[in-house]
Chains A and B, each alone.
Chain A
Amino acid sequence: MSTSPNIARVARVVAAKDLRIEMRSHIVVQQVLPFAGLVMVMFAFALDNDDVLQRVAGGLVWLATLFSLFIVVQRSYAIETSDGALDALRVAGVDSQGIFLGKSAALFVQLITLELLLFVLAVVLYQVQLSLAGLVLLVTCVLCATAGLAFVGTLYGGLTAGAHGRETLLPLLLLPVVAPVVLSATRATESAFLSGGAVLADGWPWVGVLAVFAALFGIGGLLSFGALIEE
């Protein structure tokens, strides 16, 4: 069993490794970001109404994030399992909590990049309006929601890593878990956009739910990730 004294150091190294691989492979930039952008365009085709698009823009951004989350999580573990890298990390005595935090941090950075693009697209394609106060709410919401998504993504990705049929199992496991994130983040984003008569102050309780979600699954992940990846 590992007795690594510095979880933060392991987390930093693992996160830097994951991000370096992504920067060199360009998979996120060349495939995931265009995919997410296309999803936003497809929503516009399907709904075909500017008022409706403006009204539901928040939900569409989070749905596009969710779809992309599956791809990013699978990608995050594909680089670990293809050469047995995860097993090598464990055999080398690397702390599982450090791996969990590191992979979550890398996922967090990738998702934030993706969401930045999606929100820019929402402003451009769906013509949503954003005030300064709305921007503060939106940024807080995005940070909390993305932390929660990164934690559960890392956790369930680790669970299905290397398993047969993981492409289909991951959405089945992740979707019910992230439902509170989609619900809360959408409501908070609608408040930030003031869409459909939403009030800015109504958004903050939802950010509270997102923060609780991130904290619970962060702690849950730290405690259980080791048991999931031990073989």
Chain B
Amino acid sequence: MNSTAVRSVGTPSTRLFGLLAIACMTWVVVGGLFFTPADLNQGESVRIMYVHVPTAWVAYLAFIVTGVASAMFMFGKKHSLGFDRVAGASAEVGLMFMAITLISGSLWGRLTWGTFWEWDPRLTTTAFLFVTYLGYMAVRGLGGSPQQRARRSAVVAMLAVLEIPLVHFSVVMWRSLHQRASVLSTDGDIKMDGLMLTTLFVGVIGFTCTFAWLVSHRQRVMAMRDILLATQLDSALNERIAEGSQS
């Protein structure tokens, strides 16, 4: 292979996801900011929904993908590192979307309910999910061979699948015993017209395509890094062997 040749970094599927993402996002920006009406109760602040709802969906999707890919690594016969890389890439991208969800939700909450934060089960679980996956990323960065990294992080991802429902359940129990209506009940107040619903739906597709596009590129970069590590090890071994044969 000619090392100076310019190689394409995309594949037909990444290009498709990329183009779909651009088209949908353009619709969301233009439609969400200019063409959709303001909400009767919430006014202009309802436009945050076009970012908040799709990013929340993608964030949860990302962590499901991480959990499933981790389980496939652990229980698959070959313990394929491909699944580990998809799990890692998905968690990384999911963390970014979850940060956007938390920030946009908190701003929306300030405008709608008057507070940045409510101890609502869904909000609290989302925050815990965010911190849990920060820990997951830290475990991925612990070092060691790719197989070690994959095994450790797969166990953490699968333990998170145990942890998150428990956190959610205990917070639900906590709030149900401690007065105050859940903020969830106010979510249903938005009366959506056709264009609002369509824009939201396009947003969900657009953010999902962005997620797929980012994950497919990120896992490819991870694969190249693993190959590079292996190549460096091989070349170092060959150098030592060559030194040995000279002496």
User: What residues make up the interface of A, taking CB atoms closer than 8 Å to B?
Assistant: 155, 159-160, 163-164, 169, 172-173, 175-177, 179-180, 183-184, 187, 202, 205-206, 209, 212-213, 216-217, 220, 224, 227-228, 230-231
Contact = CB atoms under 8 A, between A and B. Distances in A.
Contacts of A220: 158-159, 162
Interface string B142-182: 11100010011011101100110011011101100100000
Interface stretch (B131-139, B198-206, B225-233): B131-139
Tell me the dominant secondary structure on chain A's binding face. helix
A164 B169 CA distance: 34
Contacts of B174: 183, 187
Q: How large is the interface on B (under 10, 10 to 19, 20 to 34, 35 or more residues)?
A: 20 to 34
27 contacts: A155-B159, A159-B139, A159-B156, A160-B142, A164-B142, A169-B135, A169-B138, A172-B134, A172-B135, A173-B156, A175-B131, A176-B132, A179-B170, A180-B167, A183-B174, A202-B177, A205-B173, A209-B170, A213-B166, A216-B162, A220-B162, A224-B159, A227-B151, A228-B151, A228-B152, A230-B151, A231-B148
B74 interface: yes
A187 B170 CA distance: 11
A206 B166 CA distance: 12
Contacts of B128: 176, 179
B131 A164 contact: no
Contacts of A217: 159, 162
A177 to B, nearest CB: 5
Nearest to B133: A176
Contact of A187 (B131, B143, B177): B177
A170 to B, nearest CB: 10
Interface in B212-245: none
B167 A176 contact: yes
Contacts of B148: 231
B134 A183 contact: no
A177 B170 contact: no
Given A184-B170, A209-B169, A224 B155 contact: yes
A140 B143 CA distance: 41
B166 A228 contact: no
A177 B129 CA distance: 10
A184 B158 CA distance: 23
A216 B167 CA distance: 13
Identify which of B155, B156, B162, B173 gathers the most chain A CB atoms within 10 Å of its CB: B155
Contact of A177 (B163, B169, B177): B163
A212 B166 contact: yes
A88 to B, nearest CB: 19
Given A159-B155, A164-B143, A224-B155, A179 B167 contact: yes
